[in-house]
């Protein structure tokens, strides 16, 4: 097995994976009779070409930071949480219940309360799969997938039968009160010099940045983080060191679920201002790609989230201005996951041809 120098493993492997995904996407664009360079130009202009475009890219990136961190924390305990999508949707339910329960006077009061609601509901949705993994040995991947579907059904039921205001046709909650409205980057003094138009990116971006720092602090500067990483590296060694597998599995998954739930501050409270069906719009799944691409480190997650924000916004622009369907971004997302997560040995072998490898025998 090829062992690469650390810098190559951290920087080159994701970059090569991205390059491979890019090349294949370019071939796909060529195959459907479009120009890859035109496509790239449209994406760059539409996603990073103006402050207005950045407003959208950063809005998506904010959501992806949360879901990426959610997958990261679980990954460090060697748990693969595919349930981010369901946890984020349930988090949205928590936000909606908090926002609709009181006539909030100001967003500074509503935001912490809604964050607690989002985190609690997200964590609750991760708690059952976590318990089943820890105590009953059922595979967390399968149970979290199942909980995505159960969550979606629960949200539909809540929206149609419980939370929908009388006389409204579409399955959604009532609009949140004025006092819960989060300021967008356009409304923040100082930043409004850059963002001169209304953009969806809002103060949640700063919450997300703080979350990155806190997750770093948790994983590398606390005893709990050490226990999570030790458990993830070797369960046997962790048990020998007196770390309880049940406790770590539960805690890691609860934190993961809470982080996924917190993303709904951004989209439900910050953007749509009411809870809609399928509110997470796949961001829970993109968290997988972001975590893999970001090498399970908060800094990497931040960069990868911005990259996927670019991809998401750029892909939407493609759908608007060219005849390349918006679904191209799903293809790129899948390819990035494939190369960084499943074909990483292949990428390392490729790299080993160029970077002086340190050959070590791995039994």
Partner 1 sequence: MDYATLLQILDSTLRLATPLLLACLAGLFSERSGIFDIGLEGKMLMAAMCTGAVAAMTGQVWLGVLAGIVGSMLFAVVHGLASITFRGNQLISGVALNFVASGITVLIAQSLFRQGGRTPPLSGDARFNPIELPFAETLSNLPVIGPFYSEVLSGHTALVYIGLLCVPLTWWVLYRSRFGLRLRAVGENPASVDTAGISVVRLRYTAVIITGILCGLAGAYMAAGLQAGFGKEMTAGRGYIALAALIFAKWRPWYALMATLLFGFFQALALRPDVIAKTLHFAIPVPALDALPYILTVIVLAGFVGRAIPPRAGGEPYVKER
359 φ, ψ (degrees, to nearest 5): -75, 120
**Nearest-5° angle of CA 218, CA 116, CA 113?**
135
CB of 281 to partner 1, least distance (A): 13
Over the window 317 to 336, marking each residue x when it contacts partner 1 by CB under 8 A and - when it does not, the resulting string is -------xx-xxxxxxxxx-
| Site membership for partner 1, residue 32 (CB under 8 A) | yes
Which CB atom, from 194 or from 342, has the smaller least distance to partner 1?
342
DSSP string, 226-285: HHHHHHHH-HHHHHHTT--HHHHHHHHHHHHHHHHHHHHIIIIIIIISS-BTTTTTTHHH
Spatial CA neighbour of 185 closest among 208, 162, 160, 167 = 208
Say if CB 284 and CB 260 are below 8 A apart: yes
Least distance CB 132 / partner 1 (angstroms): 5
| Residue 242 interacting with partner 1 (CB under 8 A) | no
Q: Which stretch binds partner 1 (CB under 8 A): 111-119, 181-189, 229-237, 337-345?
A: 337-345
Query: In terms of Cα–Cα distance, which of 285, 293, 295 is closest to 263?
Result: 285
Interacting positions 266-305 with partner 1 (CB under 8 A): 285, 288, 292
**How far apart are CB 249 and partner 1 at their closest, in Å?**
15
CB 106 within 8 A of CB 117: no
Q: Give the residue with the Cβ less far from partner 1, 5 or 325.
A: 325
State yes or no: residue 33 binds partner 1 (CB under 8 A): yes
The reply to whether 142 sits near partner 1 by the rule CB under 8 A is yes
Smallest distance, partner 1 to C-beta of residue 213, A: 27
- Would you give the distance in Å from CA 255 to the centre of its chain? 14
Exactly one of 136, 223, 236, 359 binds partner 1 (CB under 8 A); that residue is 136
Q: Are 272 and 170 in contact (CB under 8 A)?
A: no
* Interaction residues for partner 1, span 144-163 (CB under 8 A): 145-147, 149-150, 153-154, 156-157, 160-161
Q: Which of residues 80-109 bind partner 1 (CB under 8 A)?
A: 80, 82
Q: Does the protein bind partner 1 through residue 359 (CB under 8 A)?
A: no
For residue 184, what are the β-bridge partners? 202
Going by C-alpha positions, the residue among 336, 200, 330, 209 that lies closest to residue 262 is 209
Residue number with CB closer to partner 1 (270 or 284): 284
Interface with partner 1: number of residues (CB under 8 A)? 50
Residue recorded with tokens 């760059």:
44
**Any contact of residue 28 with partner 1 (CB under 8 A)?**
yes
Choice between 20 and 185, CB closer to partner 1: 20
Task: Choose one: 2-10, 138-146, 207-215, 233-241; the region binding partner 1 (CB under 8 A).
Answer: 138-146
Nearer to partner 1, 84 or 270 (CB): 84
CB 95 within 8 A of CB 312: no
Q: What is the DSSP string of 279-299?
A: TTTTHHHHHHHHHHHTTT-HH
- Whole-number minimum distance, CB 171 to partner 1, in Å? 10
β-partners of residue 202 are 184
Q: Which residue has the tokens 């209304």?
A: 198
- Pick the stretch among 11-19, 114-122, 212-220, 341-349 that binds partner 1 (CB under 8 A): 341-349
Q: Residue 183's CB: how many other CB atoms inside 10 A?
A: 15
Q: Name the residues that contact partner 1, by CB under 8 A.
A: 28, 31-33, 80, 82, 128, 132, 136-139, 141-143, 145-147, 149-150, 153-154, 156-157, 160-161, 285, 288, 292, 324-325, 327-335, 337-338, 341-346, 349, 363
């Amino acid at each position: 097995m090829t062992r690469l120098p650390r810098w190559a493993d951290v920087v080159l492997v994701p970059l090569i994976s991205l390059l491979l995904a890019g090349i294949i996407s370019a071939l796909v664009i060529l195959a459907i009779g479009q120009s890859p360079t035109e496509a790239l130009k449209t994406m760059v202009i539409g996603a990073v070409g103006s402050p207005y475009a950045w407003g959208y890219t950063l809005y998506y990136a904010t959501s992806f930071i949360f879901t990426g961190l959610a997958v990261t924390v679980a990954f460090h305990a060697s748990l693969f949480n595919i349930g981010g999508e369901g946890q984020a949707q349930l988090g949205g339910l928590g936000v909606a219940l908090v926002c609709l329960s009181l006539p909030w006077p100001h967003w500074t009061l509503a935001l912490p309360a809604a964050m607690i609601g989002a985190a609690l509901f997200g964590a609750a949705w991760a708690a059952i799969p976590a318990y089943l993994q820890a105590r009953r040995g059922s595979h967390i991947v399968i149970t979290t997938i199942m909980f995505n579907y159960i969550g979606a059904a629960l949200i539909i039921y809540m929206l149609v039968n419980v939370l929908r205001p009388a006389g409204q046709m579409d399955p959604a909650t009532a609009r949140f009160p004025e006092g819960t409205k989060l300021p967008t980057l356009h409304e923040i003094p100082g930043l409004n010099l850059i963002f001169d138009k209304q953009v969806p990116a809002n103060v949640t971006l700063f919450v997300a940045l703080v979350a990155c720092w806190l997750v770093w602090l948790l994983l590398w500067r606390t005893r709990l983080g050490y226990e999570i990483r030790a458990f993830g590296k070797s369960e046997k060694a962790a048990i020998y060191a007196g770390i309880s597998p049940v406790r770590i599995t539960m805690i890691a998954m609860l934190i993961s679920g809470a982080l996924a739930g917190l993303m709904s501050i951004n989209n439900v409270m910050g953007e749509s201002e009411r809870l809609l069906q399928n509110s997470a719009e796949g961001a829970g799944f993109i968290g997988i790609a972001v975590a893999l691409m970001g090498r399970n480190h908060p800094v990497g997650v931040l960069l990868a989230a911005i990259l996927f924000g670019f991809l998401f916004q750029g892909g939407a622009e493609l759908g608007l201005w060219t005849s390349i369907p918006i679904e191209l971004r799903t293809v790129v997302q899948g390819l990035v996951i494939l190369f960084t997560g499943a074909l990483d040995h292949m990428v390392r072998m490729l790299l080993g041809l160029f970077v002086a490898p340190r050959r070590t025998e791995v039994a």
